[in-house]
Structure 1
Amino acid sequence: MTQSVPVGDQPSNIELQIRELILKYISNPNSIILAVTAANTDMATSESLKVAREVDPDGRRTLAVVTKLDLMDAGTDAMDVLMGRVIPVKLGIIGVVNRSQLDINQKKPVADAIRDEYAFLQKKYPSLANRNGTKYLARTLNRLLMHHIRDCLPELKTRINVLAAQYQSLLSSYGEPVEDKSATLLQLITKFAAEYCNTIEGTAKYIETAELCGGARICYIFHETFGRTLESVDPLGGLTTIDVLTAIRNATGPRPALFVPEVSFELLVKRQVKRLEDPGLRCVELVHEEMQRIIQHCSNYSTQELLRFPKLHDAIVEVVTSLLRKRLPVTNEMVHNLVAIELAYINTKHPDFADACGLMNNNIEEQRRNRMRDQPSTVPRDKAAAGGSQTGPVSEQTEGGMGNWRGLLKKGEEALTGERPVPLNPLPASPQRGHAVNLLDVPVPVSRKLSAREQRDCEVIERLIKSYFLIVRKNIQDSVPKAVMHFLVNHVKDCLQSELVGQLYKTTLLDELLTESEDMAQRRNEAADMLKALQKASQVIAEIRETHLW
C-alpha cells in the first residue's frame, strides 16, 4: 500500500514518486510481484493488488501476502481471503504474522517470532496453518523463483551471450595496455599507411557503400568531372569574328597581305589552348581534397586503434597533410608545363591536323568552283577580276612544299580574290582616307558588314583553330590524369610509410604519442569488469540442474 499524503518536508508528489518507483521494478517481465496487504483492511481496495494488475493482468507472476492477521477485529477472520474466495490470485495468497513494534523494541528474536506465529496459526486457522506463515512464504518464493528462472533460462542465456560478445568487442577496440611502446608505434604507423594505400587501390577491408571514396573517387574525378569539364570548353569560346579579323590585320603589318598570315592562327590558337589550364589545375585540387578525405576514412573505419592515442592520430594527420601539401605545387607546376608545352610549338604538321586541313581544302575548292560556275558571264569586271587571280595557281605551285596548311590559306585567298568587288570609279578616295584616320581610334570597324574576303578569312582561321584545339584538348585530357597520378597520388603512396616513420618513429616521441586519452583506461577497466560479471553469470546459468523443490 503506497503513501498518499505527504508528511513533513516530503514533496507534494510523494504518491506519484512511490508509484513510479514500484512500477520501475514490477514492470520487468522477469520479476515476481509480491503484493502485500494488511488483513485489517478491505482487500477489494488493496492498492498493491491494483498496481500489480496493471502490469500483470493475468496474475501469472503475482503472489499476495496478507499481514497483521493477529490485528483483525474481534469476531472476524481472514479465512475467505486466505482461501482465495475474495480476490483470486494464481500464485496464491499467504498469511503471515510479523513482529509488532513492541517486539522490535524489545529485540525479540526472529526464531521466537516464527514460533509464536506458528502457534497463532494453529490456534486461529488450524486447517490452513501448514500453508501460511513466514517459513511457508520463504519456501514458496524459492520454488517460484526456481521455476521462473528455468522458464526464463533460454532467454537469459541468449541475452548474456549477446552482451558478453558486445563487451568483448568493446574491450578489443580499447586495446590492451601498451607494454612495448616502440613496437606498438611502428605497428600503428605501418597499419595506417597500408590502409591508406589500400583505400586508393580499392582493396581496403572496410568498403564504403554510401558514397565513392579513395581510388574510385579519383577515377571519377579524372574521367567524369575533369573529362566533362574539358568537353564543355568551346574551342571558339570568348573569340568573336572581330577578334579573329583584328588578329589577321595585326599580323600583316603595314602592308596589306595577299594571304592569311600564319602568325594570326598561332596567336589565336594559343589564346584558346591557354583556357585548358584552369580545368587541369582544378582536377589537381579535387584529387588533393580526396586524398585528404582518405585520412579521415582510415581513422574512422580502418584503424580504430588510433582513437586510443589522440596525439598520435593528430601527428599522423599532420604528417600526411604536410606531404600532400608539399606535392601540390609540384603537381600544379607539371600541369602548367603540360599546357606550356602545347603553347611552345604549334605543330601544324600533326597528322590529325593535316587531315583536317586537307578536308577543309577540298570543301573550299568545291565552294569556289560552285561560285564561279554560278557567276553571270555578262559582267566584264568580274571576268577581269577572275582573270587577275590567275597568278594564284602559279604561286601555289611554287610554294606547294609548305603542305596543306599553306595550300589551304592560299586557296582561301584565291576564292576570295574572285569575289572581292572592284569599284567602277576609283577616284573617290577621300572616304577611304577618312576611314583610315578613324582606325587610329577604332582599329577594327565593327559597325559595317564584313566583306566576302574578310568573312572567308575568318572562317578559315576559326576552322583551323577548332581543329587544332580539339587535338590539344585530347592530349591534355590524357596527360593531366597521368601527371596527377605520378606526381601526387603514386608519390604519396610510395613515400607515405617512410615519411611517417621518419617523422614519428623517434624515441623522444614515444611517451608523448602513445599517451591514451584520459577516460580510455577507465572505460577499459569498466568494460573488463562487466565482461567478467557476464562470464560469471553465464557460468552460473550453465550449472543450474534439476534441484529439489519444496
Structure 2
Amino acid sequence: MTVPVGDQPEDIETQVQEMILSFISNPNSLILCVSPANSDLATSDALKLAREVDPDGRRTLLVVSKLDLMDAGTDALEVLLGRVIPVRLGIIGVVNRSQHDLNTQKTVADACRDEQAFLQRHYPSLASRCGSRYLARTLSRLLMHHIRDCLPELKTRVTVLSAQYQARLSSYGEPVEDHSATLLQIVTKFATDYCNTIEGTARHIQTSELCGGARICYIFHETFGRTLQSIDPLGGLTELDILTAIRNATGPRPALFVPEVSFELLVKRQIKRLEEPSLRCVELVHEELQRIIQHCSSYSTQELLRFPKLHDSIVEVVTSLLRKRLPITNEMVHNLVAIELAYINTKHPDFTDAAQVSASVNSQQVFMYIQTHTESLDGKRWKNEKLPSEDKGSVPGFGSPSKAVNLLDTAVPISRKLSAREQRDCEVIQRLIKSYFLIVRKNIQDSVPKTVMHFLVNFVKERLQSELVGQLYKQPLLQELLIESQDTAQQRTEVSHMLEVSVCTVVILIIFISFTYMPKGILVTRRSY
C-alpha cells in the first residue's frame, strides 16, 4: 500500500514497511513473499523488502498468485521453475478465488478442485508442486523443521534470560516485612563495605583508578611525601635576610660568634612552611573518605537504590561524622608543627655534626679576633695613626652642627658585597638551618600520616556502624526510611512477570522438543490412548 485511501495517514506506506520489517528482520523468522503473476516481479515490493533482510533467499518462500489472470500467450513457467527469481525455500503458484467466486459463495473445497484442474491444464509438470493445499503442507513442514532447528538455541536464550530476570528480581529484594531487621542489615552491610574499601578487601575493586585505602596510601607517600621533598630548606631566605637576623640578634654590640637566636628565628620561619602541605594532606584524605561513600552506594549496596530516603540519610550521617573529625585532625596536625616550633633541639643526635661544624667556625673566628686585637696593641701604631675625629674631613653626621646629617633617616643599603666574615657567618647559619630543617621534615613526613590515620581514618572506621545505628535506628524513622521507590516497585513487577513468561516458555519448549524427537510408535500409542 503506497497511496493513502480515505482517512488513512499520509505515511501509511512507511508504517506498513516498518511493521513488516519488524517481523521479517528476525533471523529466526520465515518470510512468506506473495507476488501476483500478472505483474513484473522485478518491481515487486514484497520481493524488495525480502531481499533487504534476506539477500541470499535462505528463509524466503515465494508464492506466485493469480496464475489464471495472466495475459493470453504468457505463462509463469520460468518463474515457477526458479529461473527468474531464485529462492531457497521454493516457489509455489496458486489460483485465488475471484470476487465473483466470493459473491456466489463458492466453497474452499470447490475452489481447490478448480485450482488443481487449472494447474493440470496449464502446468501439468508442476501441478503436484503448486496449489493452495501444497502450499499449506509446505508451510507446515517448513515451520516444523525450522522450529526444530531453532529450538536448542531458543531454549538456551530463554534459560539465560530467565536466569537474568531471576538475578534482577533478587537484587530488588522482597517487600519489607520486618523493618527493624532490614534497616540493621542494610546499615551493617554499608559499614562493612565502607571499611573493606579502605582496607582493600571490597568485592568490587576498581581497575581504572585508585580508590579507598590505596588512594590514601598514595596521598601519604606520593602526593604529601613528594611535596615535602620539593620544599627547599633555604627557600625564601637570602644572604641579606640571614645577615640582618644575625645583626638584629646581637643588639648594639658587635658579636664575636654567630648568635643562636638568629638561627632559631630563621629555622622556625622555615619549619612553619611545612604546615600548609600537612593540612592539605588532611584535606585530600577527607575528600577520599567522602568519595568512598558514593563508591559503596554505587557498587556495594543495591538496597540503597531501593530505599532512596535511607540512602540520603546514610550519606548525611557519614558526611557529618567526617565533618566533625576534620577540624580535630587539622588541630592535631597544626600541633605537630607547633611542637617542632616550641623547642629547637640543638642536641638532637642527627644535628650533632652540624653543631660541631658551627663550633669549629666560631673557634676560628675567636682565634682571628685575638690575633688581630694583639697586633693592634702595638704602641707605635697608636702613636702614628690619627683617630677619625682628628681628620679635617669629618665623617657625615659627626661634623659641625650646621652640616650634621641624621643617619637614622636614611635607608639601610639592601645589597652590597659581604665581607669574608659575613660570608662565613651566613654559610654557618645556612648549614645549620638546612641540617635541622631536614630533621624536622622527616619527623613531619612520618607523624602527619599517623595522625591522620588515628584521628580521622581509623576513628571513622571504628565508629561508623555505631554512629549509623544510633542516628537511624529509631522507631519513628523506620517506616519513613524504608519507603521503596516507585521505580523499584514497578521494575520488580515487570521483572516478575517476565520471569513467569520465560519459565512458561521453557516448559513449552521442553514439551515441544519431547514430542518432536519422540519415536513414532510411542507417539501413536499416546495418541491412541
Band the TM-score falls in, shorter-chain normalisation: 0.7 to 0.9
Paired residues of 2:346 and 2:355 also in contact (CA < 8 A): no
Of stretches 305-314 and 147-156 in structure 1, the one that deviates more from structure 2 is 147-156
Cα deviation, residue 517, structure 1: 1.7
2:526 corresponds to: none
Match of 1:289 in 2: 287
Bigger shift: residues 61-70 or 240-249: 61-70
Match of 1:414 in 2: none
Q: Residue 456 of structure 1 is aligned with which of 416, 424, 441?
A: 424
Structure 1 residue 178 and structure 2 residue 176: aligned?
yes
Question: Structure 1 residues 196 and 427, CA, compared in 2 at 3 Å: closer, same or farther?
Answer: same
Of 371, 374, 377 in structure 2, the residue corresponding to residue 387 of structure 1 is 374
- Report the alpha carbon displacement of residue 22 of structure 1 after superposing the two structures with TM: 2.6
Q: How does 1:48-67 map to 2 (within 5 A)?
A: 48-67=46-65
Alignment-derived partner of residue 315 in structure 1: 313
Aligned equivalents of 2:467, 2:71: Cα separation in 1: 92
Deviates more, 1:471-480 or 1:129-138: 129-138
What residue number does 2:401 align with?
none
The CA distance in 1 between the partners of 2:246 and 2:408, in whole Å, is 15
Supply the distance in 2 between the matched residues of 1:424 and 1:40 (Cα, whole angstroms).
Answer: 142
Aligned match of 2:205 in 204, 207, 211? Answer: 207
Which deviations, in whole Å up to 9, do the C-alpha atoms of 1:155-187 show, x marking residues without a partner? Answer: 323322332333233223222222222111111
Is 1:431 aligned with 2:395?
yes
Q: Distance in 1 between matches of 2:139 and 2:488?
A: 43
Residues paired across the two proteins, number: 499
Matching of residues 98-117 of structure 1 within 5 Å: 98-101=96-99, 108=105, 113-117=107-111
Structure 2 residue 525 is matched with structure 1 residue 525: no
Q: Work out the CA distance in 1 between the residues paired with 2:286 and 2:56.
A: 67
Q: Is the 8 A contact 1:117 1:133 kept in 2?
A: no
CA contact (8 A) 1:31 1:61 kept: yes
Deviation at 1:339, TM superposition (A): 0.8
Q: Does structure 2 retain, via aligned residues, the 8 Å contact 1:193–1:497? A: yes
Amino acid corresponding to residue 534 of structure 1 in structure 2 = S
Distance 1:454 1:161, change over 3 A: same
The Cα of 1:260 is off from its aligned counterpart by 2.5
Matched, 1:546 2:517: yes
Q: Is the 8 A contact 2:200 2:212 kept in 1?
A: yes
Q: How far apart in 2 are the matches of 1:243 and 1:345?
A: 22
Aligned: 1:148 with 2:135: no
**Which segment drifts farther, 525-534 or 356-365?**
356-365
The secondary structure found in structure 1 opposite 2:388 is coil
**Shift, 1:125, TM fit:** 2.9
Match of 1:29 in 2: 27
Amino acid in structure 2 at the alignment position of 1:224:
E
SS at match of 2:337: helix
Q: Tell me, in whole angstroms, the C-alpha distance in 1 between the residues paired with 2:283 and 2:103.
A: 86
Is the aligned partner of 1:497 residue 2:465?
yes
CA offsets, 1:76-96, max 9 Å, x none? 776665565765544233344
Shift of 1:449: 2.4
Q: Map Cα deviations across residues 315-352 of structure 1 (whole Å, 9 max, x no partner).
A: 11111110000000000000111111111111111111
Residue 439 and residue 383 in structure 1: after superposition, are their counterparts in 2 closer, same or farther (change >3 A)? same
Q: How far is the alpha carbon of 1:122 from its aligned partner?
A: 4.2
Q: Does the CA contact (< 8 Å) of 1:40 and 1:71 recur in 2? A: yes
C-alpha spacing 1:325/1:38, structure 2 compared with 1 (3 Å): same
CA contact (8 A) 1:114 1:134 kept: no
**CA deviation vs aligned residue, 1:126-157 (integer Å, no higher than 9, x gap):** 46666544443333212101111122223323
8 Å CA contact 1:4–1:14 kept in 2: the answer is yes
Q: Say whether 1:534 aligns with 2:528.
A: no
The residue number in structure 2 matching 1:473 is 441
CA gap of 1:388–1:149, structure 2 versus 1, over 3 A, is: farther
Q: AA paired with 1:501?
A: V
Superposition TM-score, scaled by structure 1 size = 0.81
The amino acid that maps onto 1:387 is: T
Distance 1:154 1:259, change over 3 A: same
Q: Which runs of 5+ in 2 are unaligned?
A: 378-383, 399-403, 524-529
Q: In 2, Cα distance between the equivalents of 1:160 and 1:167?
A: 10
Name which of structure 1's ranges 274-283 and 162-171 shifts more when overlaid on structure 2. 162-171
Alpha-carbon offset, residue 118 of structure 1? 2.5
1:487/1:151 CA distance change after superposition, 3 Å: same
Assess if the C-alpha contact under 8 Å between 1:277 and 1:336 holds in 2: yes
1:85 to 1:298, Cα distance in 2 relative to 1, 3 A: closer
Residue 515 of structure 1 corresponds to 483
> Per-residue deviation at 1:188?
0.8
What is the distance in 1 between the residues matched to 2:144 and 2:385?
A: 127
Q: What is the TM-score normalised by the length of structure 2?
A: 0.84
Give the deviation of 1:441 after TM superposition. Answer: 4.9
- Rounded to whole Å, the distance in 2 between the matches of 1:41 and 1:287 is 79
Distance verdict in 2 for CA 1:358–1:85, change over 3 Å: closer
Q: Which blocks of at least 5 consecutive residues in structure 1 are unaligned?
A: 373-381, 391-422
Deviation at 1:425, TM superposition (A): 5.0
Aligned to 2:527: none
Is the Cα contact below 8 Å between 2:66 and 2:96 reproduced in 1? yes
Aligned residue identity for 1:114:
V
Identify the range of structure 1 (345-354 vs 13-22) with the bigger mean alpha-carbon deviation: 13-22
User: In 2, are the aligned partners of 1:310 and 1:516 still within 8 Å (CA)?
Assistant: yes
DSSP 3-state at the match of 2:176: coil
Paired AA for residue 118 in structure 1: C
Residues 464-510 of structure 1 show CA distances to partners (whole Å, capped at 9, x for unaligned) of 11111111111111111111010000000000000011111111111
Which shows bigger deviation, 27-36 or 183-192? 27-36
Say yes or no: does 1:238 pair with 2:245: no
* Partner residue in 2 for 1:119: 113
Contact 1:96 1:117 in 2 (8 A): no
Corresponding residue of 1:344: 342
Matches within 5 A, 1:190-269: 190-269=188-267
Change in Cα spacing, 1:331 to 1:142, as seen in structure 2 (3 Å) is: same
Q: Which moved more, 1:532-541 or 1:80-89?
A: 80-89
Residue 401 of structure 1: aligned partner:
none
Q: What does residue 487 of structure 1 align with?
A: 455
SS in 1 for 2:196: helix
